[in-house]
Amino acid sequence: MIKRAFLSGVVLTIMILFLLDTGVSFQDQEKEVLELKLPKPMFVGTPRNIRSPNLEKITGKRRGPFYVPKGTEPLSLKKPVTGSDTEPVIGEIEFVTDGEKSGEEGYYVEFGPLVQWVQIDLEDSFLLHAILVWHYHSQARVYRDVIVQVSEDPDFITDVRTIFNNDHDNSTGLGVGKDKEYIETNEGRLIDPRGVKARYVRLYSRGNTSNEMNHYVEVEVYGTPSNE
Amino acid sequence: MSKKAAFFGLFLLVVCAALLFRTVRLDLRPMHHDEANQAVKFGDLLEKGTYRYDPNEHHGPSLYYLSLPFAWISSGTSFASLDEKTLRMVPAIFGVGVVLLLLLLRGGYSSSTIFFSGILAAVSPVMVYYNRFYIQETLLVFFLVGAIATSWRYHQDRTWGWAAATGFFCGMVYATKETSLIVFGSLIASLLLARIFEKRNGRKGFILSHFLAFLGTALVSSFLLFSSFFQNPRGILDSVVAFRTYFERAAEAGFHSYPWSYYLKMLAFSRYGDGPIWSEALILVLALVGCIAAFRPGSDKDSHPLFMRFVCFYAIVSTAIYSLIPYKTPWNMLPFYIGIVLLAGNGTAFLLESSKKLIIQSLIVVILGVGFYHLGMQSFRANFEYHADPRNPYVYAQTSMDFLNLVHRIDDLAQYHPDRREMLIKVITYADEAWPLPWYLRGFSRVGYWEEAEEAGDMSEAPLIISSVDKTEKLWSRLKETHQAEFYGLRPEVLLILHIKKDLWDEFLEKKPVK
């Protein structure tokens, strides 16, 4: 009995090994490493040199209507602005809320490299319904790590709420953002604060695709009075 | 110290300045589209030992063959191990060679003219900027100056050796760029014009054996390179066929079409936006003085009138031809600008020698000193501060500094992908928006380039996809669930989008070192 069981075991083991081996062979025969023949790049002549500003839209369609509660008003015009760079490279920090949105020279403020911010004091708490940002729209470029936060605290230590963040790799250290990067256009970037209540609005950036500087042409904040 | 020793001591300083300006931080500027094109073409020669002259693109073969020793020394035969410094060292060293070749002009030009020409060639911003560019222009200028210098030596000392040397340099001019036709035309026209003013008794007879030595070396040097050392004899014929291509391109300049004044305006005065003022007007003004010197008998007793007039006519004729051709790019200035620089050197020496009073001479020295310093400062600014900034007039369709962030991101991501540098990368861009990616992705073994997304097959599994903005609209719907997108600047107004597969991105976010 034991002998038969032993022999059966041996035969079974040999069969399993044979099948496994055959299986591997089948696998070898049926599959192989796919040798991809990837196309090579085409050789072409010197590309166009672009030096002049381009005010045309590069991609996308015009922004559709954006609905806000009745009575929503612009809140930021001529309101006090502060920033991380107290001595801008170009322009004045007041340009951020002066109502001028032209893309030409002389209408934007330029801050130095790395993470920089501007902060608008609305001088009272409001329910915020729209924030429009123009960093620099004379050229197709993308600003990195655009983060918009609001707060009742001028130092942004407490009560900080982030309403836009496209710092997807957390290079600013303010948390990973899920919003998308976007190309600057003359329409500006519309951010929906969803009626959040705040007095201060702070906008961060960290250079752009054309250079390492940070720019602001204009920031507009829209909202309604807070009844509290 | 003898006058001769003082001259060589000072000239050595000029050579050192030329060397410093040209060889320091050659990796600072991202590779230009055209440089990357040349580098990838050279990569085939380096790794596979194959080269075929292409009559439609890339210009002549001299750049590739002369790059070989530089590459062998620095990275052997591996294209992936090659770097920008090694490639750009080729034009940089030949740029210094241009200054050294001026020493052969003695007898044609006085020592002081050679010295001042050397200073101006060493510090001229446009010369320095494009001597650090891995394209053919610097070699063209080197062989052109070599041809002028050796033919002058032949004029002075009629031996078959100088005739053969002239032939060699002329052959190499031809083997460098198709625009050599303009250069040869300008040289012949200038020689004929200069001879009009020469006394007939000054002319020397024709020696057939010397002419044959000249012709033989010219043909051998150029044909060897065009035929890939007889591996592709068709290349010799193609080098002639190519003239048609380049004539058509010159006439139908497309977006490289500029008015006749483009080069001279750029040299005289440029300012873009809030950038600094750029000007090589000093060289232009000194060249005008050089024109006067060339036609004033006895203006410079150590310079030969024939040679001075020849250089003067070369500068005028070549500048006129290059300016009249609609197709213009800033680096095309070099072959005629070297004539202007030599003429300016002549003008500088003339100014100093013709002013008799010490006070005027001192004043000229001070003005020239300030002017040379200003040129040097502009060179520094152009190459070490504004090297990729569109506010620099010599920055033309240059790759943005931000492009290097894309390269770094791809390198970083590869560390977290199981296939490492065998990771599949799909590039879907217009042909002119793909460069210089092939250079920067040379270390990745699986990179494919397509112009249309439909041709690139399944996208969802590709760890990295790089696309032009215009090509991305079709991709968004397919990739928005599977990939994370980032924008990078390629050139002013031209952006690329890097799509990173989400699992790779999550892995990267989780494991990347915290700064």
| B198/B370 Cα distance (integer angstroms) | 37
Whether B309 contacts B194, CB under 8 Å: yes
| Beta bridge mates, A225 | A126
Whether B144 contacts B173, CB under 8 Å: yes
For this complex, say whether ipTM is above 0.90: no
- Residues from chain B that touch A50, judged by Cβ atoms under 8 A, are 397, 491-494
Structural tokens at position B438: 């092939």
| Residue A24 pLDDT | 45
| B400/B29 Cα distance (integer angstroms) | 9
Q: Does B389 touch chain A (CB under 8 A)?
A: yes
Please count the residues of chain A.
228
| A116/A206 Cα distance (integer angstroms) | 6
Q: How far is CA B210 from CA A188, B22, B207, in A?
A: 72, 37, 5
| Residue A2 pLDDT | 56
What is the distance of C-alpha B258 from the center of its chain? 20
Neighbours of B95 (CB within 10 A): 28
| B175/B238 Cα distance (integer angstroms) | 12
| A198/A153 Cα distance (integer angstroms) | 9
- Residues from chain B that touch A44, judged by Cβ atoms under 8 A, are 37, 57, 431-432, 435
Q: Are strands B425-428 and B447-450 parallel, antiparallel or unpaired?
A: parallel
Cβ contact (<8 Å) for A49 and B397?
yes
Q: Does A174 touch chain B (CB under 8 A)?
A: no
Q: How far is CA A180 from CA A113, B372, B453, B483, in A?
A: 21, 50, 22, 12
What is the least distance, in Å, from the CA of A132 to any CA of chain B? 21
Q: Which residue does chain B place closest to A166, by CA atoms? A: B486
| A90/A112 Cα distance (integer angstroms) | 9
pLDDT band at A35 (very low <50, low <70, confident <90, very high): low
Tens-level pLDDT at each residue, chain B (515 residues): 688 899 999 999 999 999 999 999 999 999 999 999 999 999 999 999 999 998 888 889 999 999 999 999 998 889 999 999 999 999 999 999 999 999 999 999 999 999 999 999 999 999 999 999 999 999 999 999 999 999 999 999 999 999 999 999 999 999 999 889 999 999 999 999 998 877 665 567 788 999 999 999 999 999 999 999 999 999 999 998 888 888 887 777 788 889 999 999 999 999 987 789 999 999 999 999 999 999 886 666 788 999 999 999 999 999 999 999 999 999 999 999 999 999 999 999 999 988 888 899 899 999 999 999 999 999 999 999 999 998 999 999 999 999 999 999 999 999 999 999 999 999 999 988 999 999 999 999 999 999 988 888 888 889 999 999 888 777 877 788 899 889 999 998 889 999 999 999 999 998 887 66
Cβ contact (<8 Å) for A46 and B34?
yes
Q: Which residue does chain A place closest to B405, by CA atoms? A: A209
Whether B490 contacts B400, CB under 8 Å: yes
Q: Which of A52, A56, A209 to probe the B interface (max B CBs under 10 A)?
A: A209
| B13/B9 Cα distance (integer angstroms) | 7
Q: Which residue does chain A place closest to B329, by CA atoms? A: A46
Q: Which of A33, A35, A49 to probe the B interface (max B CBs under 10 A)?
A: A49
The separation between the first and the last C-alpha atoms of chain B, rounded to the nearest angstrom, is 59
| Residue A30 pLDDT | 62
| Residue A210 pLDDT | 86
Structural tokens at position A128: 């915020």
| B376/B16 Cα distance (integer angstroms) | 13
| A191/A179 Cα distance (integer angstroms) | 10
| B83/B473 Cα distance (integer angstroms) | 35
Cβ contact (<8 Å) for B437 and A210?
no
Q: What is the pLDDT of residues A186-217, one digit of tens each?
A: 888 999 999 999 999 999 999 998 888 999 99
pLDDT surpasses 60 at A1: no
| B235/B290 Cα distance (integer angstroms) | 41
| B395/B133 Cα distance (integer angstroms) | 11
Residues 6+ apart with CB under 8 A from B18: B95, B96, B99, B118, B121, B122, B123
| Beta bridge mates, A143 | A208
Q: Which residue does chain B place closest to A145, by CA atoms? A: B486
| Residue B202 pLDDT | 58
- Residues from chain B that touch A42, judged by Cβ atoms under 8 A, are 431, 434, 449, 451
Whether B132 contacts B29, CB under 8 Å: yes
Q: Does B404 touch chain A (CB under 8 A)?
A: no
pLDDT surpasses 80 at A18: no
Whether B277 contacts B270, CB under 8 Å: yes
Whether B326 contacts B253, CB under 8 Å: yes
Structural tokens at position B231: 């591996």
Neighbours of A153 (CB within 10 A): 12
pLDDT band at A55 (very low <50, low <70, confident <90, very high): very low
Q: Check residue B353 and give left, alpha or beta (phi > 0: left; psi -120 to 50: alpha).
A: alpha
| Residue A27 pLDDT | 46
Q: Residue window 36-95, chain B: list those with CB within 8 Å of chain A.
A: 37, 40-41, 54, 57-58
